[in-house]
Amino acid sequence: MAHRSISPLISRLLAAAALTFAAAAVPAFAQQKLQIAGNFASEHPSSVAVDQVFKKEVARLTNNQLQVDVFPAMQLGGAKENVDAVRSGTLALTWVGGAFLSRIAPELEAVSLPFVFRNRETAFRVIDGPVGAAIDKKLQDKGFLTLGWMELGARHITNSRGPIKSMADLKGLKLRLQPNETHLATFRALGANPVAMDVKELYSALEQRVVDAQENPYTVISASRYSEVQKQLSNSSHFFDFIAVVASKKAFEQLKPEYQKAVREAMTSTIAFQRKLAIESEAKALADLKTRMTLTEIPPGAIEEMRKATAPVIEDVKKRAGADLVNQVLAEAAKR
C-alpha cells in the first residue's frame, strides 16, 4: 500500500525535476515563454502595442502554448544591454531604436540620413521594401532576425539654453544623441557639440546640465517627461527614425516552425497597430508639450540651410553603409 501511494508522488517530482533541467538547458527562445524587452516608457505607442497586441496574438495563435513576458521601460536594462542580450541569446527579442544597431550593422545608417524623408509614408515605403530586406540580411549576418519596423518618428530638438530658430542657435550646443555615426556627424556639421549617450542616462544628464539638449520624437519627449528638465522645443524634423524589432536568429530558428509563423504573424499585426497608434500619439504628445514647453517653429529657409550644410554627411555614409544602398534610399525617398 505504502509503495503504491508514494510512487505517483515520486513520479511527479521526477517529472518536475526533468522539466526544470530542460528549461535550464535550452535557450530562452525554445521555451514555452518568450521574453521581449524595450527601453521605451510603458505608455509609449511601441510598448502599448507589444503589450496589448503581440502578447495576446502569440497566445491566441499558439492556443496559449507560447506565452510572452513583456518588459518595457528599461526593466531589463537600457537599449545597449537589450541589444547585447539578444545577440548573445539570453533575451529572445527587443524593440529598440534602429540607431542602437547601427554600430553592429552600419547599413542601418542608410535610413538615418538627415532631412531626407518628407513624411512617414515615404519613410515606410523605403524601409518596407528592398532597402529593409537588404538591412535585414546584414543583421542576420550578425546574429539578429528582423521581425519588422515600428515608427519612432520625426526627431526634434529640446534644450535648456534658448529658442532654436536657425543654425546659428545650434553653435556649441552640447546635445545628446543616439550612438549613430550619421546622427553625430549631422550635428557636427550643424555646429553643435554632439555627445553619444544611452537613453537610460539622459534624464539625469539633462537635469544636472551635463548636456544642454537632446533630440527625440514628440512621443518620447512627452512620455519620458523631458519637459520637466527642458523648456525649449524646436520642430526640426532632422531625422525620421524607426524602431527595429529583432530576435536572436539562432534561438528563433530553434522554435517549432508553427511557433515561428505565429510570432511573425503576431508581430505583423503589432506593427500595423503601432503605426496607427503612433500617428494619434504624436498629435497628443505635441499638444501636451505645448502646455509645458515653448515651441519654436523653425522657418523653412533655416531648414533648407541645415539640409545643405549636412549634405556632405550623406557622402560619408556611402563609405560606411554602401553607396548602392544609400543611393537606393535617396531614389525611393525622392519619389512622389
Do the bridges between strand 213-216 and strand 174-177 make them parallel or antiparallel, or are there none, so unpaired?
A: parallel
3 lies in some domain: no
Helix (H, G, I), strand (E, B) or coil at 150: strand
Q: Is the pLDDT of residue 287 over 90?
A: yes
Number of separate domains in the chain: 1
**2-50 residue pLDDT tens:** 343 444 443 443 443 333 333 333 444 544 899 999 999 999 999 999 9
Question: Over the stretch 290-304, which tens digit does the pLDDT of each residue have?
Answer: 999 999 999 999 999
DSSP 35: E
Is there a domain that residue 324 lies in?
yes
Banded pLDDT at 314 (limits 50, 70, 90): very high
Is 2 a member of any domain? no
Residue entry with cell 539625469: 204
Per-residue pLDDT, 29 = 53
Which residues have CB under 8 Å from 159's CB, separation 6+? 173, 175, 212, 213, 214, 230, 232, 234
pTM: 0.87
| In-domain check, residue 240 | yes
Q: Which residue has 519620458 as its cell numbers?
A: 224
Residue 95 domain-assigned? yes
Count of CA atoms in the C-beta half-sphere (13 A) of 266:
24
Q: What is the CATH number of the domain that holds 313?
A: 3.40.190.170
Given strand 144-154, what is the order of strands in its sheet?
67-71, 33-38, 93-97, 240-248, 144-154
Residue 11: inside a domain: no
Q: Does 43 fall in a domain? A: yes
In three-state secondary structure terms, 183 is helix
How many CA atoms does the CB half-sphere of 142 hold within 13 Å? 21
Least confident of 31-40, 191-200, 253-262, 272-281: 31-40
Tens-digit pLDDT profile for residues 63-117: 999 999 999 999 999 999 999 999 999 999 999 999 999 999 999 999 999 999 9
Closest CA to 262 of 65, 50, 4: 65
> How far apart (Å, rounded) are the C-alpha atoms in residues 185 and 189?
6
Using an 8 Å Cβ cutoff, are 84 and 76 in contact? no
What is the SS3 assignment for 39-106? CCCCCCHHHHHHHHHHHHHHHHHCCCCCEEEEECCCCCCCHHHHHHHHHHCCCCEEEEEHHHHCCCCH
* Residue 98 within a domain: yes
Q: Distance between CA 142 and CA 138 in Å, rounded?
A: 7
Strand partners, 177: 196
Cα gap 266→49, rounded to integer Å: 11
Mean pLDDT of 50-73: 97
Task: Note the pLDDT tens digit of each residue in 205-232.
Answer: 999 999 999 999 999 999 999 999 999 9
Boundaries of domain holding 259: 32-329
The pairing of beta strand 213-216 with beta strand 144-154: unpaired
State the Cα–Cα distance between residues 285 and 297, nearest whole angstrom.
Answer: 16
pLDDT at 336: 84
- pLDDT given for residue 32 in this prediction: 83
